[in-house]
Amino acid sequence: VSYPNVCDRCSGPLPVSTMSRFNTEMCCMACIDKERAHPKYKEAEEVEIRQVRAGNYNYHGIGKPADL
Ligand SMILES: [Zn+2]
Distance 50 CA to ligand 1 centre (A): 27
2 pLDDT more than 80: no
What are the pLDDT digits (tens) for 17-56? 899 999 999 999 999 999 999 999 999 999 999 999 999 9
Return the higher-pLDDT residue of 30 and 2: 30
DSSP letters spanning the chain: -----B-TTT--B-SS-EE-SSSS-EE-HHHHHHHHTSTTHHHHHHHHHHHHHTT-TT---S---TT-
Determine the distance separating the centroid of ligand 1 and the alpha carbon of 53, expressed in angstroms: 29
- The residues whose Cβ lies within 5 A of ligand 1, an ion, are 7, 9-10, 12, 28, 31
Whole-number Å distance, alpha carbon 24 to ligand 1 midpoint, is: 13
